[in-house]
Amino acid sequence: MPIKKYIQPVYILAMCFVILLTSSCKRQANATATVVAPDDASGFVTLTDAVPDAILEIRYFGTYNFVGQRIDGYLEPTALLTKQAADSLRAVSDDVKAQGYRLKIYDAYRPQKGVDHFVRWAEDIPDTLMKRYFYPDLDKSVLFEQEYIYEKSGHTRGSTVDLTLFDMNTEKELDMGGTFDWFGPESHPDFCGNPETGDYTGDNSKSPQGRKITEKQFNNRMILRNAMLAHGFKPLDSEWWHFTLENEPYPDTYFTFEVKQLKQK
């Protein structure tokens, strides 16, 4: 059989491979070109510019937090989010406001230097200044092992927020049966209930000290959760107050710019 009959198919296959490889390289180059520089805040907004009804209590700007001091990178008591997350949070705010509540924000974007501060603190085992307020049931040495402290945080990608609800009738925070940043199973959304169905079970078997939340407190957590999920946020299975935009714009970027008021564009 003539050799020419084989040359043409082989040549076509080779050209197809080159085209596919070139296309793949171009996609990779384009993807690389769209990655935002970690110190670039241009994709972010000041949260209260987008959600003017939000109440701020930025715990890491002050000293009432599990470390007991202001956290690195928090220059002002403000909150920043990506534009996409802020727009979705505005929809949440409108939703809960119609129910008689306002959003209260504890933390939003967190610079990498803030996360690094947490790591240094966790490695300093003797420093237990705030233990009785935030982790009385735990030895500090297990915070990494039990995943309470990470070297990377979703907050640093800019589309995660820690929050609760403020009751406009009582003019107090809604009673969630536990404090923000409590290290323990009592903070889990499924503590004493099933968050998927919204059913209260009263099962507190995971609490090392037999703590419990009431049906009312569990239902209050569900009000916040349901509003956040309805507007594009996903929950965390260990913290009732923590939510991340499901389609976050920077899923692989950990930003480094500090927390301070951004200029309105």
Which segments are annotated as binding site for Zn(2+)?
A: 155, 162, 242
**What are the tokens at 51?**
């959600």
Q: Any catalytic annotation for residue 239?
A: yes
- Residue 235, beta-bridge partner list: 243
Q: 60 near 107, Cβ under 8 Å?
A: yes
Q: Which residues are annotated as a binding site?
A: 155, 162, 242
Please give the Cα distance from 78 to 66 (Å, whole number). 19
Q: 114 near 71, Cβ under 8 Å?
A: yes
Per-position DSSP letters for 36-85, written without gaps between them: PPTT--TTEEEHHHH-TT-EE--TTTSS-SSSSSPPTTB-SS--EEEHHH
Q: 104 near 167, Cβ under 8 Å?
A: no
Q: 203 near 192, Cβ under 8 Å?
A: yes
CB atoms within 10 A of CB 264: 7
Catalytic member of 239, 246, 248, 258 = 239
Residues forming the active site: 239
